[in-house]
Every structure is written in structure tokens, then in C-alpha cells.
Amino acid sequence: MQKTRFEIKNLVNRLFKEVAMGIHYNHKSKAGDRKMQKELKKKMKIEARKQKKLDKEQTEFDELEKLTRPDLLEKKD
């Protein structure tokens, strides 16, 4: 089966388009994944900051309790 020059040219053009457009297609198709990963990373940072703030407040509160009410701490031990 001999292919004509036109058929070969069409075949080469189609292959080239698939290869050349594949980069753009992959980039665009992964945009949603990247966006979700970015949101997840942002939420994790926010949660870490909240936890750090709560830990700091708790340590300050415990320190104040120890200074102002030492009798309660003695009973717990």
C-alpha cells in the first residue's frame, strides 16, 4: 500500500500537532490540580498558624495561673 504524498503530509501534520499541542494541553489540564494543591497548602498554613497561636496562648495562660494561683497546682500534683 503506497501512500500518496498528500496522505503522508497530512499524517506528519497531525503527528506534529499532537506533539506540539500536547504541552499546552497538559499545562491547561493540570491547572485545576495545581489550584487545589495551592488551596490545600494555604489551608495547612492557616491551620498551623492557628495552632501555634493557641499553643502560645495556652502557655501564657498556664504561666499566669501558676503565678496567681499556686495553691491549685499543688492540689493537682
How far lies 50's CA from each of 14, 37, 41, 61, 64, in Å?
Answer: 54, 20, 14, 16, 21
Per-residue model confidence as pLDDT tens digits over 37-55:
999 999 999 999 999 999 9
- Full residue range of the structural domain in which residue 44 is found: 5-76
Please determine, for residue 23, whether its predicted confidence score (pLDDT) is greater than 70: no
Please determine, for residue 2, whether its predicted confidence score (pLDDT) is greater than 90: no
Q: How many domains does the chain have?
A: 1
| Cα separation, 37 vs 39, whole angstroms | 5
Per-residue model confidence as pLDDT tens digits over 51-68:
999 999 999 999 998 888
